[in-house]
Amino acid sequence: MSAGRPFLYLSHADVVAAGVLDAARCVDVCEEVFGLLASGDYLMGGPGKNSHGLGLVFPASSPFPGMPLAGPDRRFVAMPAYVGGRFDVCGNKWYGSNPANPGRGLPRSVLTLTLNDKDTGEPLCLMSANAVSAARTGAIPALASRCLAPGSRVLAVIGCGVVNRAVVAAVMTQQPALEHVVLHDVDADASELMAAWVRDTYGVRADTAPTADACVAGADLVSVAASRRTPLEIASGSFADGATVLLSGPMASDDAFWCDSRVVYDHVPLHQEYVREAAAAPDRGAAYDALIGGPLYRLIDAGRVPPLEGSVDLGSLLSGRVPRPVDPDARTVVVACGMAVFDVALGLDLYTTAVERGLGRALDLWGDELPPTAADLRPTRS
Amino acid sequence: MSAGRPFLYLSHADVVAAGVLDAARCVDVCEEVFGLLASGDYLMGGPGKNSHGLGLVFPASSPFPGMPLAGPDRRFVAMPAYVGGRFDVCGNKWYGSNPANPGRGLPRSVLTLTLNDKDTGEPLCLMSANAVSAARTGAIPALASRCLAPGSRVLAVIGCGVVNRAVVAAVMTQQPALEHVVLHDVDADASELMAAWVRDTYGVRADTAPTADACVAGADLVSVAASRRTPLEIASGSFADGATVLLSGPMASDDAFWCDSRVVYDHVPLHQEYVREAAAAPDRGAAYDALIGGPLYRLIDAGRVPPLEGSVDLGSLLSGRVPRPVDPDARTVVVACGMAVFDVALGLDLYTTAVERGLGRALDLWGDELPPTAADLRPTRS
């Protein structure tokens, strides 16, 4: 009888104590999940099983004084998933995002993750998910770089926030030859601060660049994860031949950037679902505008970029089902939009460690009472 | 500076102590929310702002041994919302459902609700939401009955689980002339148990009926909220002239039942979004099959029932924007599918009471540490 079992609450400090800052471990978990994505042993939201999530979309204006209004990075999103394999668990990431938060002493997004028994639906764990989400977001470009650009020496970092710190931490575990990091942020202080962190933490050369175009000029690897508050545009001619461009956030460029690149998706069915959802939305163009892959979807619709069906994704590359590309002069663009399966899998790993180490606080869902109506629903003759 | 403020955890017992069993109060909150729905001061999920939620849809079969399989009432759903007015808060209900749960001493669904600061995204409260969800589900048919069938004397109850108990509790606050409740459940023990509860709690006559058709025969009001495990079908000819049929769960009938009834929806834009989502799903028919309104949507598509656009819903009736129907011999069907706005609004009301009464446990999202990267992100010259 499982009724009344407690669930575990893990604060951010608990999640750190459970090992979320171990980038190599997070990369390993994400690689394992890519295997499950490639084989199909997972579910995300909706009848198509591949929805990124369901968000609250704020209006541009409103007659109601309290209603939050649209703006870059202003949203709430719920992201449910089931992950199979050794994880075998359901969960939901839920977060709100506001670029005004750092001015309040808060991260831009505030995230929590709930893990649930796949059979009973009972919560197993509620955890602060800021570090979980950053770690899994950083692991994807790192895996992509190992796969597509092993032996890289120069990494360009566009955007010096929490996501690119996680990217650098993860890339460092996969690129032993890396010797130089060049950083750019619209906030010059942020790039200087992160350059110092790279030098202090990893002992590699780190410089800042005054523009995004200058930043990417000599880089084998480019990681883009910049705030949406200032639209980012980089010309295709600014990238080095054969560069691998890792997009964890949106970037605008000229059509040649997309049309002349080898495109690798994180997971093709996720992007097919994005396009299906955009087609069903009241405004397809507005839906595209909100997505990292938006510029690609427009060019696919126009027949100028190969269709999603048959495109290459990281699961098929990492599992060896598709050969890795070999032309060293071709530019590669990797589009990674984030998937709840990574949060849930990494969350389960951390939860398991937290239980082993006695971290967190046990909470009782039902309190002093029996589960509601369990007694009522049990057939009895009184 | 809001960084580091604690949030509140409320167990089921705490939510009960905060007043969730006060049916009259829950009905009042839901009536208030119908006003916000009618005026537009709310958001639910997606670009159309009216999605019910995003679920994990289990497959009918799977090559993976751990993957949960499809079955009646087997699902996980995330339901985000913003509610305006005096509530002015965001939140997400998240639950898993399994009809095997009562055999394990658990309710069929296990639900939690998170409330979040609309600006920062920080959690304000995590609460057990079984009682919240039941209370708001029961309040809708009660409000509909006051509006459409005041002075009812006989209530037929189809399905004797937690939802119909909440319906009876709420209807009792809105129908002072009610004198007789007739109950049916495929489990005869469950209907006997609930009949005794009705007699003991409300002092009105309560009898059980051996079939659903017999149960509804002499009723002014019919409330349908039965398990999906045994498909429910009631012939249109079994209902009394002028009956008001309140659907909180699916019911099959002959086409005449739908075509010859006055149909009132809980919220027309919700149903328009259901139809949009079904049209975008891989299998429109399967999507309809999972929905309470599915039989209606099919008949609307066939041109045999008036389109959703221009149909009457409870918000427009309760706000007086649409006159209440007066033909006493016409059968009315009310289709209520559940909306996260009710959970979030009622949840906020209970959270506020819990704070006033000192209920629950304070939890710290960040633990011993500062919010992650807040220090990093704050521009400093060191």
Per-residue pLDDT tens over the stretch A39-72: 999 999 999 999 999 999 999 999 999 999 999 8
pLDDT at B286: 92
pLDDT, tens digit, 9 for 90 and up, residues A138-192: 999 999 999 999 999 999 999 999 999 999 999 999 999 999 999 999 999 999 9
pLDDT given for residue B370 in this prediction: 59
pLDDT score at A382: 30
Q: Above 60 in pLDDT, residue A378?
A: no
Q: Tell me the shortest Cα–Cα distance from B103 to chain A, in angstroms.
A: 8
Residues B123 and B209 in one domain: no
The residue written with tokens 């909440």 in the block is B166
The confidence score (pLDDT) of residue B4 equals 67
Task: Tell whether A233 and A186 lie within a shared domain.
Answer: yes
Instruction: Tell me: do A335 and A345 sit in the same domain.
Output: no
Q: Is the pLDDT of residue A372 over 80?
A: no
In a domain, B189, yes or no: yes
- Look at A90 and B76 and tell me if their CB atoms are within 8 Å: yes
Q: What is the spatial distance between Cα A145 and Cα A174, in angstroms, rounded to a whole number?
A: 8
Q: Tell me: do A103 and A192 sit in the same domain.
A: no
* Distance (Å) of CA B352 to CA B17, B120, B359: 12, 19, 10
Residue B18 neighbours by CB under 8 Å, 6+ apart: B10, B350, B351, B353, B354, B357, B359
Query: Given an 8 Å threshold on Cβ–Cβ distance, is B96 in contact with A46?
Result: no
**Mean pLDDT of all residues in A296-310:** 97
- Phi and psi at residue A273, to the nearest 5°: -70, -40
Assigned domain for A197 exists: yes
Same domain, A105 and A173: no
Q: Are A159 and A56 members of one domain?
A: no
Domain-located, residue B19: yes
Return the pLDDT at A4. Answer: 67
Let me know if residue B201 belongs to a domain. Answer: yes
Q: What is the pLDDT of residue A379?
A: 32
**CATH number of the domain that residue A263 is part of:** 3.40.50.720
Instruction: Write out pLDDT tens, residues B288-325.
Output: 999 999 999 999 999 999 999 999 999 999 998 888 88
Closest approach of B33 to chain A, Cα-based (Å): 14
CA of B325 vs chain A CAs: smallest distance (Å) = 31
Tokens coding A143: 């895996």
**Per-residue confidence band for A370, with pLDDT thresholds at 50, 70 and 90:** low
pLDDT exceeds 70 at position A2: no
B63 part of a folded domain: yes
The confidence score (pLDDT) of residue B267 equals 98
pLDDT in tens, A87-129: 999 999 999 999 999 999 999 999 999 999 999 999 999 999 9
Nearest to A2 among B104, B107, B194 (CB): B104
- Here the tokens at position A47 are 């009848």
- CA distances, B35 to each of B139, B146, B315 (Å): 14, 16, 6
- In this prediction, residue B327 carries a pLDDT of 85
Which of B44, B74, B92 is the best residue to mutate to test the A interface, defined by the most A CB atoms within 10 Å of its own CB?
B92
Which residue range(s) make up the domain with A364? 7-132+341-377
Domain count, chain B: 2
Instruction: Decide if B68 and A118 are in contact by the 8 Å CB cutoff.
Output: yes
Candidate from B47, B59, B94 with C-beta closest to A57: B47
B345 plus B314 within the same structural domain: no
What are A296's two structure tokens?
Answer: 């690609």
| Residues B98 and B163 placed together within one structural domain of the fold | no
Among the partner-chain residues A116, A130, A379, the one whose CB lies closest to the CB of B190 is A379
Question: Is residue B380, in this structure, part of any structural domain at all?
Answer: no
Q: Is residue A191 part of a domain?
A: yes
Among residues A314, A285, A313, A315, the alpha carbon closest in space to that of A298 is found at A285
Query: In Å, how far is B237's CA from the nearest CA of chain A?
Result: 31
Q: What is the pLDDT of residue A63?
A: 98
Predicted pLDDT of residue A228: 86
Q: Mark whether A172 and A92 lie in a shared domain.
A: no
Which tens digit of pLDDT belongs to each residue from B317-363? 999 888 888 888 899 999 999 999 999 999 999 999 999 999 999 99
Report residues of chain B scoring pLDDT below 70: 1-4, 368-382
Q: What is the CATH number of the domain that holds A115?
A: 3.30.1780.10
Average pLDDT, chain A: 94
Give the per-residue pLDDT at B371: 60
Please report residues of A whose CB lies closer than 8 A to that of B131: 372
Q: What is the pLDDT of residue A117?
A: 98
Residue A369: pLDDT band (50, 70, 90) is low
pLDDT of residue B2: 44
- A319 within a domain of the structure (yes/no): yes
Share of chain A above pLDDT 90, in %: 88
Q: How many whole angstroms separate alpha carbon B198 and alpha carbon B36?
A: 33
How near does any CA of chain B get to the CA of A87, in Å? 9
Same domain, B346 and B329: no
Top residue of A36, A41, A54 to mutate, by most chain B CBs within 10 Å, is: A54
Question: Do residue B191 and residue B323 come from a single domain?
Answer: yes
**Residue A41 to residue B64, Cβ atoms within 8 A:** yes
The amino acid that residue A264 corresponds to is V
Mean pLDDT value across residues A347-367: 96
